[in-house]
């Protein structure tokens, strides 16, 4: 998983705010393209990382349920 930070305009301010997004990458993908990316912005890198971890947990639990 990786967390990416980008600038976004901040209304009424000349300084741009940071927006963070989580992406999950397949380890075997040589191009490191995202297998999943959160569709919303987070205010901190920690919140974005938590979002990605929640998705991974959900994916893993669904995979285990399908295997049963």
The pLDDT tens digits for 9-28 are 878 888 888 999 999 998 88
For residue 10, what pLDDT is reported? 77
Average pLDDT over residues 49-61: 94
Q: What's the predicted TM-score (pTM) here?
A: 0.77
Distance of alpha carbon 22 from the chain centroid: 1
**Residue range 29-40: mean pLDDT, rounded:** 90
* Distance from C-alpha of 20 to C-alpha of 48, rounded to nearest angstrom: 6
Identify the H or E element spanning 25. strand 17-25
Q: Is the dihedral of CA 40, 55, 47, 19 positive or negative?
A: negative
pLDDT value, residue 68: 61
């Amino acid at each position: 998983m990786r967390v990416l930070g980008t600038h976004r305009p901040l209304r009424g301010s000349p300084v741009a705010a940071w927006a963070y997004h989580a992406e999950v990458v397949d380890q075997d993908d040589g191009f490191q393209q995202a297998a999943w990316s959160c569709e919303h912005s987070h205010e901190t890198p920690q919140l974005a990382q938590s979002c990605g971890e929640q998705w991974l947990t959900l994916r893993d639990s669904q995979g285990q349920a399908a295997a049963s």
